[in-house]
Structure 1
Amino acid sequence: MLIMRQVGFSRRSLLQATLGAPALHGTSANDRIQIGVIGAGSRGSALMREVAAAKSANAVITAICDVYRSNRERAAEFVAKTWGIKPRQTVDYKELLGWREVDAVLIATPDFGHSIILKDAVTAGKDAYCEKPMGVDFAEAKAAYLAVRQSDRVVQIGTQRRSEPRMVAAARLIRSGVLGQVTRVEMSVNFHEPRWRRDYTQIRPEDVAWPQFLMHRPSRPFDARRFREWQLFRDYTNGIAGLWMCHFIDLVHWFLEDPYPAGAVANGGVYLWKDGRETSDVFHALLDYPKGFLVSFAMSLTNAAGNRNLWFGTRGTFDADAMKITGQGSRAPDRLTEEITVAEEPVNSHMENFLECVRTRRTPRADIQAGFSHAVAVCMAGLALDMGRKVRFDRERLELIL
């Protein structure tokens, strides 16, 4: 059972944060979008570089929050070199959300913090770019989803494939019906390595704000391994479903325009890497959808034989790795007779799209609905693995049926 340790905003602090947050409606093109970074590790650093590369967006990073001293200092140095300013720093994301010099936030913490921080961000009046997965705990993901829907904040989820030129073209083709009726999608990702194992021998407790790292997760003494290798422990992730499946199941919702699975089953375990990890090194989920198709997602860390990303329709097959659509497998009279190579379509980057929408108040490509849809799927698959039985979803009530 989780110990809810997170200290909530007071009514007064929330009101002050909301009133103090600059609204960008009607902001002139000469005004900079001021950004706070929550989580400045490897992924957060990559997002900072994307902001710097988006020259036309006229954005600047003004604040850094990270629980690890090394990350904060490195991020502050990057900001100083890139924009010539000294950003404010903190270990407490709620403090950052109260700062007037922050219009929008980039959320790139470990996965278990995404939903809660996103909910708090929009409640505090901030726009947000939230890394994937949008959530790994269903109740937290739903609360964040409802908070965003009830706000006027711009939220982009970090499923960057929605801004990849060839994926944009593929989505258009599949949604046009080129494959006919799609009844099955098969996705497989394979490595032969103990992913997420990292060196933690140099991590010193005095450099880590440990309570802020744990947030609402169970309290425990400082543990450098859990801090550095959180992906291996169930207090902080639901495993491969959240860590990897979110990338791929998002394509299903996007391409086939069906936002939630009807049901999910899963199996897997730790079969090879007996290193104390609590998350599977082999995982396989099957998800069925109301429109009438089945999705298979499998991943292993035990053999790198290759990946598969195949979409089977009545008129042919789409190979999303090769980016080719052919009539292979179809015996229908209207099967495809010529191979289609998916070409790139002009599109700006995922970060540019977010910053553009912050300024224009339009809906970004990977909006909160896209994020909640993949969160529902990964939560269903993770729970199905844990419980050993099928998990269903009531899309009218937005509730899991266990």
Structure 2
Amino acid sequence: MSSLNRRQFLQSAAPLILPAAVLGRAGAVSPNGKIRLACIGVGGQGTSNMNAFLADERVQVVAICDVDGQHRDRAMKTAKLTKADCYNDFREVLARSDVDAIMNATPDHWHSHIAIAAAEAGKDMFSEKPLGASIGEGRAICDAVTKHQRVLQCGTWRRSGMKVRMACELVRNGYIGELKEIEVGVPGTFAVRGGFTGLEGPEAVPAHLDYNLWMGSTAERPYTAARCHFNFRWIDEYSPGYITDWGAHFVDVAQWGAGMDDTTPVEVSASQVKRRDKGLYNAPEQFRLEYRYANGVKLTMFSTNDKATYGTKFIGSEGWIFSESEVLKASNTDILRTKLKDSDTKLFVSKHHHRNFIDAVLSRGQVAAPAEAAQRAATICHMGAIAAKIGQPLKFDPKTERFEGNEAANGMVTRAMRGPWKI
């Protein structure tokens, strides 16, 4: 695309969506058989994802997109591309006919806009957690993926871990007895990067950053470096802190082990909620979120400084299992020595989260962390964040994804959006 065409392209105020048929491809891959991948959002997590895809011999990274020119240039060198294949605006990337799939590791408030546009443009996607920045946005992503028959792998990578799968299979098959309760421990105190305090004042926007595009659909705010990149997650209008940051991972494991991927709890309450009394970083820093599923199983997410409790603990009538990445513990080591019977439920096996995505793009088969499962896990996190704001117990309908009898809570199901950015 020439520089003139790029300028013309960006003159449109509203997001431009181009279907695959218009672009001249309808699911076809490149002539050399490789999946042509564009990486959108190449900060820390995005670079990690990009490197994983660069290590896959079936993938060719063909484009880089980031609103931060420094991130862009660094990723360009890693991917061995030129500036002609580097973009500030994701819409230009989606307009390319030689892009089969995207990796999306932008801040949470960009997840839905990019994922929906990618689906409508005929691109498959590896999209970071949480699926959406709100319950409504996640549902819109699921609808777009289904409508356009796209592959979406959410970045909840623990579903590709052998020990996590073992824990969930043992729970599913009753080897701790009847499941009674699930405990999810996450950090509370913010791990702020860059030496910021959240008390920084406005400053000039650096030349390498398109700050207006970084803000996107969120409210216009004065620029400060303390607001952007990794530390956005401590600011409540962008993210409720660790509730969705780590919670999306561990609640996803809880859902998998409990066999609840198609539903959510029906009740939620929040207590022990504490926030900083001044500054930018105003997401909940301490909290206890209690949920109840329709079958009576209780789920609790709590903030803690005890790192040994970071993860997911399944508590049954005959024992417990704790899972976090490569850590697998049980109330009795005999539980962990259990060999599944032929008749036992076996869960989907993925040995590598990124490679599983490419497997599915090529085969149109199953992914470890599909959109619907990711939506339910993220919804649980958002339910807790909303309860923490409302300050009273809430009832939730998993079918309609609405709160019962509380319009204030329902007003938070989807974020308010600025300017032309809608879902």
TM-score, normalisation: structure 2:
0.81
Could you tell me which residue of structure 1 aligns to residue 94 of structure 2?
A: 97
The answer to whether the aligner puts 1:114 opposite 2:108 as a matched pair is: no
Task: Tell me by how many angstroms 1:195 deviates.
Answer: 1.0
User: In structure 2, what is the Cα distance between the partners aligned to 1:88 and 1:195?
Assistant: 34
Task: Tell me by how many angstroms 1:29 deviates.
Answer: 9.4
Deviations 1:256-302 (A, max 9, x none): 111311121123444679654111221211111122200111114xx
Q: Pick from 24, 27, 33: which aligns with 1:31?
A: 33
Q: Pick from 245, 263, 269: which aligns with 1:265?
A: 269
Deviations 1:181-238 (A, max 9, x none): 10111222347x6413424799952110011101110113333221242122122112
The alpha-carbon distance between structure 1 residues 131 and 305, as it changes in their structure 2 partners (threshold 3 A), is closer
Task: Tell me by how many angstroms 1:178 deviates.
Answer: 1.3
Task: Tell me by how many angstroms 1:341 deviates.
Answer: 4.6
Could you tell me which residue of structure 2 aligns to residue 8 of structure 1?
A: 14
Report SS of the residue matched to 2:164. helix
Deviations 1:100-130 (A, max 9, x none): 1211000101112112211111011110000
User: In structure 2, what is the Cα distance between the partners aligned to 1:342 and 1:227?
Assistant: 47
Q: Pick from 320, 323, 327: which aligns with 2:328?
A: 323
| Amino acid corresponding to residue 243 of structure 2 in structure 1 | A
Task: Tell me by how many angstroms 1:367 deviates.
Answer: 0.4
| Amino acid corresponding to residue 374 of structure 1 in structure 2 | A
CA contact (8 A) 1:61 1:87 kept: no
The alpha-carbon distance between structure 1 residues 354 and 87, as it changes in their structure 2 partners (threshold 3 A), is farther
CA contact (8 A) 2:350 2:368 kept: no
Residue correspondence of structure 1 range 161-310 to structure 2 within 5 A: 161-190=158-187, 194-199=190-195, 205-228=206-229, 229-258=231-260, 259-270=263-274, 276-300=280-304, 303-304=305-306, 306-307=308-309, 309-310=312-313
CA contact (8 A) 1:18 1:123 kept: no
The alpha-carbon distance between structure 1 residues 203 and 225, as it changes in their structure 2 partners (threshold 3 A), is farther
Moved more, 265-274 or 373-382: 265-274
Which 5+ residue runs of structure 1 have no aligned equivalent? 1-5, 328-336
The answer to whether the aligner puts 1:381 opposite 2:387 as a matched pair is: no
User: In structure 2, what is the Cα distance between the partners aligned to 1:352 and 1:71?
Assistant: 24
CA contact (8 A) 1:67 1:212 kept: yes
Work out the percentage of aligned pairs sharing the same amino acid.
26
| Amino acid corresponding to residue 66 of structure 2 in structure 1 | D
Could you tell me which residue of structure 1 aligns to residue 412 of structure 2?
A: none
CA contact (8 A) 1:64 1:87 kept: no
The alpha-carbon distance between structure 1 residues 97 and 199, as it changes in their structure 2 partners (threshold 3 A), is farther
Q: Superposition RMSD on alpha carbons, in Å?
A: 2.7
| Amino acid corresponding to residue 8 of structure 1 in structure 2 | A
The alpha-carbon distance between structure 1 residues 86 and 169, as it changes in their structure 2 partners (threshold 3 A), is farther
| Amino acid corresponding to residue 166 of structure 2 in structure 1 | A
CA contact (8 A) 1:270 1:280 kept: yes
Report SS of the residue matched to 2:228. helix
User: In structure 1, what is the Cα distance between the partners aligned to 2:275 and 2:338?
Assistant: 38
State the number of aligned residues: 375
Which 5+ residue runs of structure 2 have no aligned equivalent? 1-11, 340-347, 407-423
Task: Tell me by how many angstroms 1:311 deviates.
Answer: 1.4
Could you tell me which residue of structure 2 aligns to residue 334 of structure 1?
A: none
Deviations 1:43-98 (A, max 9, x none): 0000011102222xx11111111011110000000011xxx776611111111111
The alpha-carbon distance between structure 1 residues 214 and 325, as it changes in their structure 2 partners (threshold 3 A), is same
TM-score, normalisation: structure 1:
0.85
